[in-house]
A = this chain, B = another copy of it.
Amino acid sequence: MKASQFFISTLKEAPADAEVVSHKLMMRAGLIKKLGAGIYNYMPMGLRVIRKVEAIVREEMNRAGAVECAMPVVQPAELWQETGRFEKMGPELLRIKDRHDRDFVIQPTSEEVVTDIARQELRSYKQLPKNLYQIQTKFRDERRPRFGLMRGREFIMKDAYSFDRDMVSAKASYQVMAAAYRRIFDRFGLRYRAVAADSGAIGGDLSEEFQVIAATGEDAIVYCPQSDYAANMEKAEALAPVQPRPAAAQAMTKTPTPGKATCADVAQLLGVPLSTTVKSLVLATDTLNDAGDIVGSQVWLLLLRGDHDMNEIKVSKVPGLDKGFRFATLAEIEDHFGCKPGYLGPVGLKKPVKVIADREVAVMADWICGANEVDYHITGVNWARDLAEPDAVADLRNVVAGDKSPDGAGELAIERGIEVGHVFYLGTKYSKAMNATFLGEDGKPAFFEMGCYGIGITRLPAAAIEQNHDERGIIWPDAIAPFTVVVCPVGMDRSDAVKATAEQLYADLLAAGIDVILDDRGERPGAMFADWELIGVPHRVTIGDKSLKDGVVEYQHRRDAAATKVAVGDIATYVRSRLSA
């Protein structure tokens, strides 16, 4: 490609609404152009990156035996009503009426449509397993679209769906995809982690997120530097402490803590570590009759160490809370504790509640909690002596760095990541809802066992930039760079030698199958270099009249601090030696 025939449009300044670095750099480098909130034109430079991402994904999906199809962007509502998602999904599902006032949606994913295909086309166990995928435009009407392609409304996703005859086979299909995803992310040339994720109501361990590591990532990734263990924050287990509960050493004492309604304030006032305090979280569950009326409620008290955070996913798995819970109302709290929030605790309740202690809290001695009286806490609290043992002990909290790794291999560390892929075992959730069956080997109909597997095609470039950039711009991995090499002739219009050398190198690299762009725009060197550093082409060759007289040209990798002089005759070979395998 010659730059004069391409579409290059760089900006000195990012628009004001670009908050994160990838958004800023994608706008400044002319990769995308905003059309509306969360809706972007993929400009020629950006589309090249997207197409390279797609090509890698497609190759590896095909290699893994998945078959590509394409499902419509606009989908009739009927199928979405079968699974109930037409009603259940919030306003992020964009609903449309056509000229005949019939309901449609713009696909945010395609479970319904693909399950409809399967129930019609896959009639026998002999046709299984099958994995259908598409690389297709999606739309989610996010309340707050932001961060450019990171959280847009219209985006491109690769979504794959596997259909199997039984769970064993489905798990094998899942593993095939998980392995394919590792190959895909390896090929992107990014640092990433495959982390165990919560698989929700379906249970089991068959859910992994593929997270591109970046300090700016929205997600916390928990991993063990000494082992392969990696999980997202929702999933990562906080092991029960191995040390026994110490013996009580202090007397229980009511202490004035005027105006100190948080553990942190109390710890500071009393001059003790935050980890000696216990926070009280009050939840409630309701019992409904067949008509859906509330016929009874139960109040729950969750106890966590003052320096720990509640993990909602874990709480939602506690027996009794696993059918849904809510925060207790002020009335319920005052009714049971005789006190308003800020000074609550498990000692001296007005009415009994279910007490669930986090594993850490269960082994604490001499701890501090609210006195159930405004402006008072109690210190030196001890289980068994001052109050009954908790009704249950559970893992209720987010892990923190330094916690023991669940695999026993060392201590957990935490870093930030950007989720760009997800593999998920679905079981029969959709096939049952849509009555999607095949004839089994026993001649009986059986529900498909399904899995779904997504990659955010247009989010990936944003994540790559969050991971790979500097103050001058983007630094692309070779595999997904818009161009692999840029040839920058300086003074091409003034020097025949520069022009001839540049054209020859361009032709040689093209002939070698290298994705090269020749900057023949005639820009001044400073502006030209700034453009390519902003755009982030990883390999640059500069050809200038002066060095050419010495028979050399300059090679510089985008990460190199300085250029390397290379003999003109060796440059094509040298560039090839610097490319990623």
Contacts and interface: CB of A to CB of B under 8 A. Distances in A.
Contact of A7 (B6, B67, B98, B106): B67
A153 interface: yes
A236 interface: no
B72 A132 contact: no
B44 A76 contact: no
Copies of this protein chain in the complex: 2
A73 B36 contact: no
Interface string A1-44: 00001110100000000000000000000000101100111111
Interface string A81-104: 000000000011010101100001
Contact of A94 (B44, B67, B98, B120): B98
Interface stretch (A135-143, A300-308, A406-414): A135-143
Contact of A47 (B69, B104, B120, B143): B69
Contacts of A47: 68-70
Contacts of A570: none
A91 B99 CA distance: 6
Interface in A102-146: 104, 106, 113, 116-117, 120-121, 130, 132, 137, 139, 141, 143
A348 interface: no
A435 interface: no
Nearest to A75: B35
Given A68-B44, A99-B143, A117-B41, A132 B7 contact: yes
Contacts of A43: 69, 117
A519 interface: no
A45 to B, nearest CB: 9
Contacts of A50: 70
A70 B35 CA distance: 12
A562 B24 CA distance: 64
Which of A50, A121, A132 has its CB near the most chain B CB atoms (within 10 A)? A121
A65 B5 contact: yes
A225 to B, nearest CB: 40
Contacts of A74: 39, 94, 106, 139, 153-154
Contact of A141 (B92, B98, B132): B98
A439 interface: no
12 contacts: A5-B65, A7-B69, A35-B72, A39-B72, A42-B70, A43-B117, A44-B67, A44-B132, A47-B69, A74-B153, A91-B99, A98-B141
Given A41-B69, A74-B94, 11 more contacts: A5-B65, A33-B117, A35-B71, A36-B76, A39-B72, A39-B75, A73-B73, A73-B154, A74-B106, A94-B96, A106-B106
Interface of A: 5-7, 9, 33, 35-36, 39-44, 47, 50, 65, 67-76, 91-92, 94, 96, 98-99, 104, 106, 113, 116-117, 120-121, 130, 132, 137, 139, 141, 143, 153-154
